[in-house]
Amino acid sequence: MTIINSIMEISFNKEDGSYRKIEKYNPEKLAELAHHYEKILELLGENTQREGLIKTPYRVAKSMQFLLQGYEMNPVEILESAKFKEDYRQMVIVKDIEIYSLCEHHLLPFIGKAHVAYIPNGYITGLSKIARVVDIFARRLQVQERLTSQIKDCIQSTLKPLGVAVVIEAQHLCMQMRGIQKQHCITTTSDFTGAFERVATREEFIKLIGSKLS
Ligand SMILES: [Zn+2]
């Protein structure tokens, strides 16, 4: 059994090599959300009884719960679950962590990459846990600035390292599809603590992630 996230599990059948997906959506919540999405589609001028739209409110209800599942997960617990005593005191970098989030102003996606580094101070964590922490905060309604700081704060307060650095580079569909319609504009945000406040350490990190940020 592989738990992909809080609402989906994949089980693998060794005998016939098949995969089975188990979804754990709350049926009452799903029905209520679907009901509201149906009303929204009607208000927007659609005929919700036509073939292509019959199941859409239900699909959107599931999709939104998937995209916003981060509210039900605790990133501190994830880091604590894989916190190991270790004397390593060099920079640990996890780069190019994919981000799929929703902007809280327009409920439109912003998509990009996060680069996270920390310098351990007695404790390290599993590298996949860093990516999980990024994902948990991204799977909530967000602004890129707050997402950046929340990842930094969570790692800083849980692992208490000598420093944390987070850089996020993302494209916002609310900028590309509406508003000023800038197609290739990338927004970069960064936040640092401790050792990364020093210019030399920060520059080493920026160089290692290969960002255009300087
Ligand atoms: Zn927006």
Contact yes or no for 167/114 (Cβ under 8 A) = yes
- Distance in Å, CA 186 to ligand 1 centroid: 13
Contacts with 45 (C-beta within 8 Å, 6 or more apart), sequence order: none
- In a 13 Å sphere around the CA of 73, the CA atoms on its Cβ side amount to 24
Report phi then psi at 180, rounded to 5.
-85, -5
Q: Which residues lie at CB < 5 A from ion ligand 1?
A: 103, 105-106, 174
Give residue 43's pLDDT: 98
- Distance in Å, CA 179 to ligand 1 centroid: 9
Contact yes or no for 209/95 (Cβ under 8 A) = yes
Per-block average pLDDT, block size 10, for the chain (214 residues)?
A: 63 78 86 98 98 97 96 95 94 97 97 97 95 98 98 98 98 87 86 96 93 56
Report phi then psi at 27, rounded to 5.
-65, -35
Residues 100-112 pLDDT 10s: 999 999 999 999 9
Give residue 214's pLDDT: 46
- Distance in Å, CA 105 to ligand 1 centroid: 5
Give residue 65's pLDDT: 95
Q: Is the pTM of this model over 0.85?
A: yes
